[in-house]
Structure 1
Amino acid sequence: MLKTELRNLERAQKREGVDMTYLKNVVLKLLQTGNCVD
């Protein structure tokens, strides 16, 4: 499930040009909470 979320975030980053700090923070939050945001 986390791998799927990471792939989605990577695609979003490429598509929208989201900076890596934001992506890192989202991944860290997912790991800390154990929740996957749809």
Structure 2
Amino acid sequence: WFAVALLIGAISGTYSSPFNAVPLLVLWENLSQRRKK
């Protein structure tokens, strides 16, 4: 059963990571632009 739980975690992590990464990238771009100014 551990392999099934691991597979579910990997799939959910793969699908949820873009939704977590996009706001972080936008925030990172805003911070880097503020430093340049």
TM-score class, shorter: 0.3 to 0.5
Q: TM-score, normalised by structure 1?
A: 0.44
Larger RCO of the pair (alpha carbons < 8 Å, separation 6+): 1
Between structures 1 and 2, the one with greater helix share: 2
The structure whose Rg is larger is 2
Q: TM-score, normalised by structure 2?
A: 0.45
